[in-house]
Structure 1
């Protein structure tokens, strides 16, 4: 009886499963794009060309409203059948209808949808170009291709079309200016230079002219700074442009920032300390209404005095900055510079007092610098009463600050020979590794950072050296990365190491 029941039960189960599967099969409904592609393949097989072309046109026309040929799947199948011209034709009809019935912004959103679908750039571009050629007097097709290029981050093409549109319709430069400002925010300096140069030449009476000139100057400055080799004439031209801008706008609070830019060229690029001092002082006079700008210029004027070896003038500027903008990032930077100046000139007790205050700073980089320098002093004082080695090392660091690079490099090599096996050796090696990076000697830098980690992993540069080494090898040594995580759980580099260690 049990066997009979079991067999009956099994038959019932199989019947039920078969019934469910047949019901599911009936419930499966093919998607519109699947149906479109299925019929497309059937039509393509038609041998008579006229009949095939006619049915393809009819099939695309029938599906123009449901968008079934606009999905990624349909699009790729259309390309496989070499029917891109048909897709371009009917896609163009959709765009025409959207513009006329729903407007430009809705059509832009529709294009964004195509981009999101993964539709290839080339075919959409061809479709938009054909619309421009069909209606050259219309601005909307050009706006659409500009939007498409922007979606694909083809900024040079955006600029060519934006400029052509501005020339053709004499629109006053507003859209070009907006694009220029957006390009400035993206830091696309060569492109920014072209845009604002065009605006200044073509709209000399615009109320925005002076703003455009100022943006162009800032962009040119960035372009020059990003060059590997810079001619001095480029800086001279930039300085002349700042002066012409002030001539146009006057010497006032609005142009005070140009003094900061000009002074930086004299200080950091041309090493003309007297000229830098004069320009900073004039800028400080004009920036009384902007204490943050004034504090920045006072801070950098202190650097002028530092480079010139005028210790006490530099200390006065740094102290004024601390007083002017208390408990601000600039104030903390001024205190750090004060501590460093005491350190460079061998006043280690005063230097350490400043560094110890900054160790609790909310500015991580400043706190880290202060902590390191405080440890350097702590580790290397009291060894000999004259503190000769540390003073020599600090003097070398000051030479680097003063841009006396060759003299500093030679002195550093000589100091390493004298300090082999001494407490200052790791400090000297770390500075040498940094110099190797500055000189693009990557293999030398890797070797030095690895050596510091291998020999001094528990000293103050342990985490810094391993971090720099891992960066230089693009975090490919996972074992060393895991060593970093376990050895230095409180390092400021920990999150970056973890992120790069476990990235896909």
Structure 2
């Protein structure tokens, strides 16, 4: 019982003490220094500690009672050899404007490193805490000179960054990578805050010079990797490829980095460079899966840039690959891609669905089977065989519950119901998908739900919404011209109705697909002028800015559009990208 009571007392004392400490800290933060001083002094009388004493000294300095702070510091120095006290005493003199005495104690503290290099970190950190950064730099450098096994480059990098000396910051991060190569990904994250897509940016030039110099003196793999990464940030994928090839020649075990670069080039629509890289992969890989992946991407790129007359040649290339590698499990992804090509580009959906039904007979995993069924169902939607498509989508949901592909299938069920004009059922499915673990599916589901709910009440017969769903289906079927014409009908016959801005946006995106950029811009401008407070305003601003910035060569017109998203649409999904691109166009040095 006595032990229990003792425990309760101890617990109460600890709680009471921590509460008092919190109160004192709160006074200090609020600038109520007289109250904070009394509170800290009470705490120190109950439990004397260097921590409490330090807080008392800082509070006295805030109250400009420097002599009292000095007296406490001298008392501490009489019983402690901690060299950081010399820095604190010097700082107290500095606050009194006694700079000569301040420097005397700072120099004494620095000399302590010569006596014991082990003091380096503590002394330097104390200088940092007091924002005496130049002295901290001297201490860290001296510590490394005296003890080469210690490396304080990362601390130096952070100080130089704080001072705005970007070149020295980069140099020290690079030095730390040399000491600890595993730090490279952390360094990339640090660098990314200071470089931009502009290769002529001063910071980009600094980093490039440092890395090239390192490569000349010691061609270690991590310098190639960093230089490659920098070129990717500048969207100079061909230069990045040069570095990746050099890396691969030094360690020809894996092409994964080069594959990743090629896919990035495709995503950024740098098709010529991507072509070169994928051909290199084919020439250098012994792995069938890798070779087939490269062939598939090469065909995808060719399809993007092909005219209708060239589609027959692409068809022959697919068939040649199947002749060479067979139609087995290893070519499954290629078979799915070919099914898509037959239906959506050659407009032979019957042949495509027959081809994929043969693919379903292969021995595959449940997930592989689901990917084939997903594409087959898409092709059945293309053929407007909605009920058959729904069977395949439902099978995926039943066989792979709670997976991403199952959620994608559920979304396609909703989209198919929407194409059919069954808006109530579509909405019920979309409500579930708003909580999807896939953000992309959740966003798409929300967009489609809003489209339906915003337009189904205006007309009980849903005339305009049904026309729009039909145009949307035509767009899905890759019947772009037909979709544009049907959207024209909506814009003429249902002008002023709630569907108008959605039809304008959809048509603008289809104009872009056909490279009719002036017509697309006109649609976006109309939305901005007439629907500035509606839900699609941020979409129109962003897409028009992108057109000006990337296709029409008028970046100055893009700038105010990006700016509008930053200040008028802070909750937009385009906010982060708009801010980044606006700053780049404005010529900011740091992202």
Contact 1:256 1:286 in 2 (8 A): no
Deviations 1:165-194 (A, max 9, x none): 89xxxxxxxx5463x443112116334444
Q: Aligned partners of 1:117, 1:295: CA distance in 2, in Å?
A: 47
- Quote how far apart the aligned CAs of 1:156 are: 5.9
Q: Does 1:302 align with 2:377?
A: yes
Contact 1:396 1:411 in 2 (8 A): yes
Contiguous gaps of at least 5 residues in structure 2: 1-98, 111-177, 185-204, 229-238, 266-273, 550-557, 584-589
1:433-472 matches, within 5 Å, as: 433-472=508-547
- Quote how far apart the aligned CAs of 1:224 are: 2.5
Deviations 1:99-124 (A, max 9, x none): xxxxxxx99x9xx9xx9986589999
Q: Counterpart in 1 of 2:505?
A: 430
Contact 1:318 1:337 in 2 (8 A): yes
Q: Does 1:198 align with 2:283?
A: yes
Q: Counterpart in 2 of 1:480?
A: 564
Would the alpha carbon gap of residues 210 and 438 (structure 1) be closer, same or farther in structure 2, given more than 3 Å must change?
Answer: closer
Q: Aligned partners of 1:383, 1:118: CA distance in 2, in Å?
A: 59
Would the alpha carbon gap of residues 116 and 418 (structure 1) be closer, same or farther in structure 2, given more than 3 Å must change?
Answer: closer
Q: Counterpart in 2 of 1:284?
A: 360
Contact 1:256 1:287 in 2 (8 A): no
- Quote how far apart the aligned CAs of 1:244 are: 1.4
Contact 2:538 2:569 in 1 (8 A): no
- Quote how far apart the aligned CAs of 1:355 are: 1.9
Question: TM-score, normalised to structure 2's length?
Answer: 0.53
1:10-409 matches, within 5 Å, as: 119=209, 144=219, 152-153=227-228, 154=239, 157=242, 175-176=251-252, 178=254, 180-187=255-262, 189-199=274-284, 208=286, 210-211=288-289, 213-225=291-303, 227=305, 231-232=310-311, 233-246=313-326, 251=328, 253-289=329-365, 291-409=366-484
Contact 1:213 1:245 in 2 (8 A): no
Contiguous gaps of at least 5 residues in structure 1: 1-15, 28-105, 129-140, 167-174, 201-207
Q: Aligned partners of 1:150, 1:283: CA distance in 2, in Å?
A: 41
Q: Aligned partners of 2:300, 2:377: CA distance in 1, in Å?
A: 24
Contact 2:244 2:257 in 1 (8 A): no
Contact 1:452 1:465 in 2 (8 A): yes
- Quote how far apart the aligned CAs of 1:151 are: 5.7
- Quote how far apart the aligned CAs of 1:466 are: 3.2
Contact 2:393 2:413 in 1 (8 A): yes
Would the alpha carbon gap of residues 159 and 334 (structure 1) be closer, same or farther in structure 2, given more than 3 Å must change?
Answer: closer
Q: Aligned partners of 1:191, 1:176: CA distance in 2, in Å?
A: 18
Q: Aligned partners of 1:223, 1:384: CA distance in 2, in Å?
A: 43
Q: Aligned partners of 1:393, 1:298: CA distance in 2, in Å?
A: 27
Contact 2:565 2:575 in 1 (8 A): no
* Bigger Cα displacement from structure 2, 407-416 vs 465-474: 465-474
- Quote how far apart the aligned CAs of 1:337 are: 1.5
- Quote how far apart the aligned CAs of 1:339 are: 1.4
Would the alpha carbon gap of residues 331 and 457 (structure 1) be closer, same or farther in structure 2, given more than 3 Å must change?
Answer: farther
Q: Aligned partners of 2:333, 2:360: CA distance in 1, in Å?
A: 10
Higher relative contact order (CA 8 A, sep 6+): 2
- Quote how far apart the aligned CAs of 1:471 are: 4.1
Deviations 1:115-137 (A, max 9, x none): 99865899998x79xxxxxxxxx
- Quote how far apart the aligned CAs of 1:228 are: 5.7
Q: Aligned partners of 2:566, 2:247: CA distance in 1, in Å?
A: 51
Q: Aligned partners of 2:459, 2:502: CA distance in 1, in Å?
A: 17
- Quote how far apart the aligned CAs of 1:17 are: 6.4
Q: Counterpart in 2 of 1:493?
A: 574
Contact 2:565 2:574 in 1 (8 A): no
Q: Aligned partners of 1:272, 1:392: CA distance in 2, in Å?
A: 25
Q: Secondary structure at the match of 2:484?
A: helix
Would the alpha carbon gap of residues 436 and 241 (structure 1) be closer, same or farther in structure 2, given more than 3 Å must change?
Answer: same
Q: Counterpart in 1 of 2:84?
A: none
Q: Counterpart in 1 of 2:192?
A: none
- Quote how far apart the aligned CAs of 1:219 are: 4.4
Would the alpha carbon gap of residues 450 and 176 (structure 1) be closer, same or farther in structure 2, given more than 3 Å must change?
Answer: same
- Quote how far apart the aligned CAs of 1:234 are: 3.1
- Quote how far apart the aligned CAs of 1:307 are: 0.7
Q: Aligned partners of 2:415, 2:524: CA distance in 1, in Å?
A: 24
Deviations 1:223-272 (A, max 9, x none): 4255365832134213321331127xxx3x44433322332332333332
Contact 1:299 1:317 in 2 (8 A): yes
* Bigger Cα displacement from structure 2, 473-482 vs 238-247: 473-482
